[in-house]
A and B are shown apart, each in its own frame.
Chain A
């Protein structure tokens, strides 16, 4: 299958997954968004503008970095990081927020809403709103506001209104539900910048298009090392935007194994995890049909992960499709292993990763053992760890 055939949604679906399970009130806005996105994507002027912001505002291209000491520790493997932690504001989230803000300006929408878990997408959205002069409201669960308090302060300084969400699980799921409710009520004036490849069509496609720059750059950078591709590309999966972002460029490279790493929390068997693809069933959450952590009655289950950005009971529909056609393998890594990888990477490389990509780093170590010395692994280092100081104790 060609890349286009693999990932181009048909009628808003990737295989059986995706769709638009939203109140009728939003349907015309989604149609407008789809049309406007396709128009903008094909407009050289828009692409030029986006490229300019990527260069001067986000700081792209981000480097490809050889994590040699970590590679030695992992038994002589070649490990490279795609350094999304070096994006302005500290994570890949800004790639998406910049593109959607440009689109909002093009659509003449002056009010922006967003949901956030780790606060990285909230900060990215607040940042682009400051940059483009847009009004910004961010929904955030009260539990996340506590564990990512630094990002709450950043958003406020950037001029965003942060709305504390106290319903349900008080984390990313309920923040997203609340943001969608706001959108239903203010859809005429407001653009909703969703933070991952989730939600109703066209969001999964649009956010993918905006994040695929990660993999497009990384593939070229990797090839320029010695003309060869990696054996394995690894990325963490919350909603799945950094993973889709890096995977997309490699989908046609059949010899490159792609692995998505979900949060196993306290262990899949304990039920306290956030691994939708590994431990969930197909269902509808936040407007799209994908793998969902739910009970037998279709009620969405509470999740747990030490990393707020992965603590979500759903996942993007394109991942569900890539899982079912077995193009991407999905695994889950526990809180404990992610924390250990966080410490190891910090000490050996002088790079403090966010807890989200720490899950991917741990799994890179697992794959390294399988590949043996000389293996080639590319890890998406989706963000930096400053925000996680309160979740990681000193030792």
Chain B
């Protein structure tokens, strides 16, 4: 569904020459209070948007770092309602917040209620990594009717004709998974990423963001000009796991984007 006017999220992640940065944290990791604190600090660094993960017991698309963070968040008693509170507190800083959640917590919470409360909390959009377009309805419908953006993913294994269909289901931006694989920290960007990004950009007017495995300055430098925004997750979550807040890492990464301040 292409919105007639650009959404707040779309405007925030669209690059104008430079590369935008999207950071990821896990709600409730290591505690609710701390994740709000870290989220607020990151919101002030100049990132374009903040993804906030809702922990799940069986995160099929996540590597060890985010999986471990999710387990800690669950052990600390994080609920879907609690994650929405984290999102609300951080969104109040004015940063566009994108919730990243697996489908089962949304189904269990009730998709309609989830959409309404996320919108109420000031959330801008939702990404559900185990919800391919074929399974999107009725959940995506509820999200749209609450004026939330629905971000769908394109993978290196997605055939070209399917890319356009996925993009047409997306709003806010199109999320390009850079690796055939799960989230994590990698040394090198996968081969073929530039070609994939070019394929996606050919098929959508939405901003294009990439994520999974992006963690270093040289990754970002290599990506500049090829897309609108890069999402960094595991590297930040790993710092938070070691009692850090990821702020200095994000500032370093922003420098490589050319939008550091």
Interface residues of A (CB under 8 A from B): 11-12, 19-29, 167-168, 173-174, 177, 180-181, 184-188, 281, 283-287, 292, 294-300
Instruction: Tell me the complex Cα distance, A386–B163, Å.
Output: 51
Partner of B159, one of A21, A28, A283: A28
Partner of A24, one of B58, B59, B103, B155: B155
Q: Across the interface, do A167 and B67 meet the contact criterion of CB distance under 8 Å?
A: yes
Nearest to B175 among chain A residues (CB) is: A24
| Sample of 28 A–B contacts (CB below 8 Å) | A20-B135, A21-B103, A22-B130, A23-B60, A24-B129, A24-B154, A25-B155, A25-B157, A25-B177, A26-B157, A27-B155, A28-B159, A167-B67, A181-B60, A184-B61, A185-B179, A185-B182, A284-B107, A285-B104, A286-B60, A295-B108, A296-B108, A297-B80, A298-B80, A298-B104, A298-B107, A299-B56, A299-B74
Q: Could you tell me the distance in whole angstroms from the C-beta of B53 to the nearest C-beta in chain A?
A: 14
Q: Across the interface, do A25 and B156 meet the contact criterion of CB distance under 8 Å?
A: yes
Q: Across the interface, do B61 and A298 meet the contact criterion of CB distance under 8 Å?
A: no
Partner of B182, one of A21, A184, A297: A184
Q: How many residues of B contact A (CB 8 A)?
A: 41
Count of A-B contacts with CB under 8 A? Answer: 122
Q: Across the interface, do B108 and A283 meet the contact criterion of CB distance under 8 Å?
A: yes
Contacts of A186 in B (CB 8 A): 180
Q: Across the interface, do A25 and B135 meet the contact criterion of CB distance under 8 Å?
A: no
Partner of B166, one of A24, A185, A294: A24
Instruction: Tell me the complex Cα distance, A167–B60, Å.
Output: 13
Q: Which of B28-67 contact A (CB under 8 A)?
A: 56-61, 63, 67
Contacts of A296 in B (CB 8 A): 108
Nearest to A301 among chain B residues (CB) is: B57
Partner of B108, one of A20, A174, A187, A294: A294
Known: A25-B181, A284-B104, A287-B130. A297 touches B109 (CB 8 A): yes
- Does B131 reach chain A (CB closer than 8 Å)? yes
Q: Which of B127-175 contact A (CB under 8 A)?
A: 129-132, 134-135, 152-159, 162, 166
Contacts of B103 in A (CB 8 A): 21, 284
Partner of A20, one of B58, B132, B156, B179: B132
Q: Could you tell me the distance in whole angstroms from the C-beta of B157 to the nearest C-beta in chain A?
A: 5
Partner of B58, one of A19, A26, A28, A177: A177
- Does B119 reach chain A (CB closer than 8 Å)? no
Partner of B105, one of A29, A187, A292, A299: A299
Instruction: Tell me the complex Cα distance, A299–B109, Å.
Output: 11
Partner of B181, one of A28, A29, A184: A184
- Does B106 reach chain A (CB closer than 8 Å)? yes
Q: Across the interface, do B135 and A29 meet the contact criterion of CB distance under 8 Å?
A: no
Q: Could you tell me the distance in whole angstroms from the C-beta of A280 to the nearest C-beta in chain B?
A: 12
Contacts of A29 in B (CB 8 A): 157
- Does B71 reach chain A (CB closer than 8 Å)? yes
Q: Across the interface, do B57 and A299 meet the contact criterion of CB distance under 8 Å?
A: yes
Nearest to B56 among chain A residues (CB) is: A299
Q: Across the interface, do B153 and A24 meet the contact criterion of CB distance under 8 Å?
A: yes
- Does B204 reach chain A (CB closer than 8 Å)? no
- Does B79 reach chain A (CB closer than 8 Å)? yes
